């Protein structure tokens, strides 16, 4: 309608060969001996995803029957096949002030908790020794008041927003997720308060406060204050 606009999208992502692969049995004698699946470990990561050992090290007298010389690498413990929904509802009755409701939902359909529990080395309860405590779902809900940030065109344009997100350990790939909220990565939940103000037609200052806590594993609290100054030419 003239006063209400809705947008939604649905996507499916199938990641190929992103998970860690268990090697053939071998005995690494030093840190440079390579396993045949070493390249299945991530080239870049932040934090939050669940990891598993990828070297199938044979216990022998050369490594104290599994007590020494464990030159191990780790890869992602799950595949990623994600269904993702995004939606936005804009109320324009009070123009130029717009009220927007936004939401996102992601679920990793390849996640198998029982299989991961057998191999996971992190995201465990009880200080790291308990049952696997990860998950496969992420969602975000938020509301914005003011002029849409992408349409700022004069001094005094403004927008404020409030949002809450819940990102379980293996819903998304932590290396590609938000690098600011919670210090980056996954396995975090919490809220964000932000505001932006146009200082001129081409300059904007933005302030955000993000409070996050870890979902699974040991408790971690992270608070971030972000200040952006943007100029366009």
The pLDDT, as a whole number, for residue 127 is 65
Reduced DSSP (H G I as helix, E B as strand, rest coil) percent helix, strand, coil of the chain, to 5: 10, 40, 50
- Please state which of the ranges 18-27, 61-70, 83-92, 192-201 shows the lowest mean pLDDT: 61-70
Q: What is the pLDDT averaged over residues 108-120?
A: 94
Of 197, 206, 210, 195, the C-alpha closest to 161 is 195
The pLDDT, as a whole number, for residue 108 is 98
The pLDDT, as a whole number, for residue 150 is 83
Q: Say yes or no to pLDDT of 189 above 70.
A: yes
Q: Say yes or no to pLDDT of 190 above 80.
A: yes
R_g of the chain, CA atoms, integer Å? 22
More confident site: 94 or 205: 205
- What's the rounded Cα separation, in Å, for the pair 72 and 56? 9
């Amino acid at each position: 309608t003239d006063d209400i606009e809705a947008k939604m999208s649905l996507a499916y992502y199938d990641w190929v060969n992103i998970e860690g692969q268990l090697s053939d049995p071998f005995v690494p004698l030093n840190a440079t001996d390579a396993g045949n699946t070493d390249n299945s470990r991530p080239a870049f990561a932040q934090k939050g995803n669940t990891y598993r050992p990828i070297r199938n090290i044979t216990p022998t007298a050369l490594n104290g029957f599994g007590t020494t010389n464990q030159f191990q690498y780790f890869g992602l413990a799950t595949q990623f096949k994600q269904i993702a929904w995004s939606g936005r509802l804009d109320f324009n009755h009070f123009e130029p002030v717009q009220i927007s409701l936004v939401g996102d939902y992601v679920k990793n359909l390849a996640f198998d908790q029982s299989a991961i529990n057998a191999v996971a080395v992190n995201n465990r309860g009880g200080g790291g020794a308990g049952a696997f405590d990860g998950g496969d779902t992420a969602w975000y809900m938020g509301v914005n008041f003011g002029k849409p940030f992408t349409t700022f065109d004069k001094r005094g344009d403004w927008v404020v927003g409030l949002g809450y997100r819940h990102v379980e350990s293996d819903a998304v790939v932590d290396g590609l997720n938000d690098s600011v909220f919670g210090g980056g990565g996954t396995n975090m939940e919490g809220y964000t308060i932000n505001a932006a103000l146009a200082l001129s037609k081409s300059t904007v200052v933005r302030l955000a406060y993000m409070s996050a806590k870890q979902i699974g594993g040991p408790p971690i609290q992270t608070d971030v204050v972000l200040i952006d100054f943007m100029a366009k030419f």
